[in-house]
């Protein structure tokens, strides 16, 4: 089994992060077939990376600007059996690639996602930040499986797919995932969610697997640890979910979200209140953040759905 590792990049401001991500791939116990760096419409960064990594395949995004286009370019460039994606601000543990590949021993498995832990720039998790919403910073969240298990969709910054299914399914749709306006990326997401659901709909019996041994650390900047970003990310997720349901239907598009909202979030809020009663006053902050996060995500979904119905962009 040959695995092509793809890292999508877009700005020189993450130069040191990119170098650490690449170094973590180079330290893998099981070496990748190839490393592909996809540069999103940044000629200067493209040249810098070609000079820095002569043994890597450094290409420019040939699809629409944004993360989805970069992922599609990476898959089209790859020659391995498996395409593994790693965020440009993440660090993979040495056994990451080996664990991802082990997940494909079952021929029914078409995608494998790993465990993503937050690396807080501030040194520790904000006391108000609920683990149920770690998805807002691209990390594995409370409510996901803790052992190897089938899941509806993987998280895009720590995921691998059989290369042929990416092309056969039409790749990642643009307009859903993160893109850049000026120098600031919109905090959207869900391109991998829509892709995984669409893949499963077109390939009955296909399995997406969560593999907790495929571990990476994802850097969380101080700006993303603020409550203002938390709210904006939740709202943007709602907007993205509206696009997902338009593509794959509300039944599949919201199945996991309904389960999370009806089970994990109430339990998390009650846990926070209980912790506050036991003397941890920050528990009330976590409970309140769960309520606000759910409300902002729901509001984003309502707004996004209305925009789609009215034919707005």
As a whole number of angstroms, the distance between CA 19 and CA 91 comes to 10
Does residue 208 lie in a domain region?
yes
pLDDT digit string (tens) for 130-183?
A: 999 999 999 999 999 999 999 999 998 999 999 999 999 999 987 665 554 444
Does residue 95 lie in a domain region?
yes
Does residue 37 lie in a domain region?
yes
Domain that holds residue 81: 3-224
Does residue 38 lie in a domain region?
yes
Does residue 277 lie in a domain region?
no
Does residue 293 lie in a domain region?
no
As a whole number of angstroms, the distance between CA 63 and CA 55 comes to 24
As a whole number of angstroms, the distance between CA 217 and CA 206 comes to 28
CATH of the domain at 51: 3.90.550.10
- Give alpha helix (H) positions in the chain: 15-26, 43-52, 67-77, 96-102, 163-168, 191-202, 227-248, 250-253, 255-259, 265-277, 282-309
Does residue 136 lie in a domain region?
yes
| Count of structural domains within the chain | 1
pLDDT digit string (tens) for 83-129?
A: 999 999 999 999 999 999 999 999 999 999 999 999 999 999 999 99
The closest of 150, 143, 75, 73 to 111, measured between CA atoms, is 150
The model's pTM:
0.92
Does residue 264 lie in a domain region?
no
């Amino acid at each position: 089994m040959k695995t092509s590792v793809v890292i999508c990049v877009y700005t020189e401001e993450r130069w040191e992060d990119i170098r650490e991500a690449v170094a973590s791939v180079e330290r893998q116990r099981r070496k990748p077939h190839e490393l592909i760096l996809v540069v999103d419409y940044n000629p200067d960064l493209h040249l810098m990376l070609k000079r820095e990594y002569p043994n890597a395949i450094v290409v420019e995004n040939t699809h629409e600007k944004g993360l989805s286009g970069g992922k599609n370019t990476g898959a089209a460039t790859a020659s391995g059996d498996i395409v593994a994606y790693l965020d440009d601000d993440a660090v993979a543990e040495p056994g990451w690639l080996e664990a991802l590949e082990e997940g494909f021993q079952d021929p029914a498995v078409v995608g494998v996602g790993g465990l993503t832990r937050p690396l807080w720039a501030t040194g520790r998790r904000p006391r108000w930040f609920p683990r149920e919403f770690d998805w807002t910073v691209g990390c594995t969240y409370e409510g996901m499986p803790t052992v190897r298990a089938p899941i509806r969709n993987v998280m895009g910054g720590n995921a691998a797919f059989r290369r042929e299914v990416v092309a056969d399914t039409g790749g990642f749709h643009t307009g859903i995932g993160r893109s850049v306006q000026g120098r600031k990326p919109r905090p959207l997401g869900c391109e991998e969610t829509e892709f995984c659901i669409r893949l499963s709909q077109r390939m009955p019996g296909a399995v997406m697997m969560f593999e907790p041994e495929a571990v990476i650390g994802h850097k969380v900047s101080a700006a993303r640890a603020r409550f203002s970003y938390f709210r904006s990310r939740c709202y943007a997720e709602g907007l993205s979910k509206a696009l997902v349901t338009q593509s794959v239907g509300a039944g599949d598009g919201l199945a996991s979200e309904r389960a999370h909202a009806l089970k994990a979030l109430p339990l998390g809020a009650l846990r926070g209140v209980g912790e506050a009663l036991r003397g941890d006053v920050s528990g009330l902050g976590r409970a309140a953040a769960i309520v606000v996060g759910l409300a902002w995500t729901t509001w984003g979904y309502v707004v996004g759905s209305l925009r789609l119905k009215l034919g707005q962009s």
